Amino acid sequence: MDSFEWNKVMAAVIATVLFIMVIGIVAETPFHQEHVKPAFTIEVASDGVVEAVVEEGPSFAEMLAGSSADRGARQWNKCKSCHTIDKGGANRTGPNLYGIVGRTIAALDDFRYSGALEALGTSVWTYEAIDEWLQNPQAMVKGSKMVLAVRKADQRADLLAYLATFSDQPLPFPAVESAQEAAEGAIEAVEQAAEATGGN
C-alpha cells in the first residue's frame, strides 16, 4: 500500500466512526426527549413539594389556625405594663389596643405616637402587619417608640388570637391554603423554574 492508499483507508475509518457517532446521537435523542426528560421533571416536582413542606414549616395562616387565645393571654403579660386592651382602657406608655386587629395604624387621637409610626399613614393593622411588628417593631418602623420583640412565631400567633378577641367585630383569620392547592402551586413553581433554566 502506498501512502495515497493508506490515506483512503484512514479516511474510510474516520468516516465510519463519525457515522456511528451520528447514528448514536440521533437514535438517543428521541429517547431523551420522550422518556428521560419528563421523568426527571416529575421527580423534581415531587421532590419540590416535599422540600417545600419540610423547609418552610407551617404557613402563617396555619400558625394562626393552630393558635390559642388562652395561651395568648399568658403572652399578654409581656405587653400589659405598657398597654391596656379593654374597651375604653387608658393609654399607658403605649396606646390602648382594643380592636387593634383591623384598626388604622396610629389611630388614637389621645396618644402621642412617634412620627415614624404616624408616617405609615392610613394603613390598617392586619394579622400579618401585627405579626411583623411584634417580630421587631424597630425593624418594621425605624424610629418607632416600642422596643419589645416577640421572637417565637407560635407565641406571636397565640398573642394575635388573644388580641383579636378584644373587638366589636373580630376579623376572621386568613384562610389556610388546602394541601391540594399548595401542591399544585409547588408543581407550577418547579415547572416555571425548569422552563427558566431551559428545561431538563
Least distance in Å: CB of 68 to ligand HEC? 15
Closest contact distance (angstroms) between CB of 47 and ligand HEC is 39
Any idea which residue has 502506498 for its cell? 2
| Residue among 150 and 186 whose Cβ is closer to ligand HEC | 150
Pick between residue 149 and residue 194 the one whose CB is nearest to ligand HEC: 149
- Give Cα separations from 182 to 57, 58, 60, 187 (angstroms): 13, 12, 14, 9
Provide CB contacts within 8 A for 105, sequence distance 6+.
117, 120, 121, 122, 123, 124, 125, 129
Residue number, 71 or 145, with CB nearest to ligand HEC: 145
> What is d(CA 181, CA 9) in angstroms, rounded to the nearest whole number?
65
Tell me how far, at minimum, the Cβ of 78 lies from ligand HEC, in Å. 4
Give me the residues that bind ligand HEC (CB under 6 A), please. Answer: 78-79, 81-83, 93-95, 97, 100, 105-108, 113-114, 116-117, 125, 130, 133-134, 144-148, 150, 159
CB of 60 to ligand HEC, least distance (A): 16
Question: CB of 67 within 8 A of CB of 163?
Answer: no
Written as nine digits, the cell of 95 is 396606646
The nearer residue to ligand HEC, 61 or 107, going by C-beta atoms, is: 107
Cβ closest to ligand HEC, residue 100 vs residue 190: 100
d(CA 65, CA 157): 9
- Work out how close the CB of 59 gets to ligand HEC at its nearest, in angstroms, rounded to a whole number: 21
Q: How many CB atoms lie within 10 A of CB 53?
A: 14
Q: Which residues contact 66 (CB under 8 A, 6 or more apart)?
A: 58, 154, 157
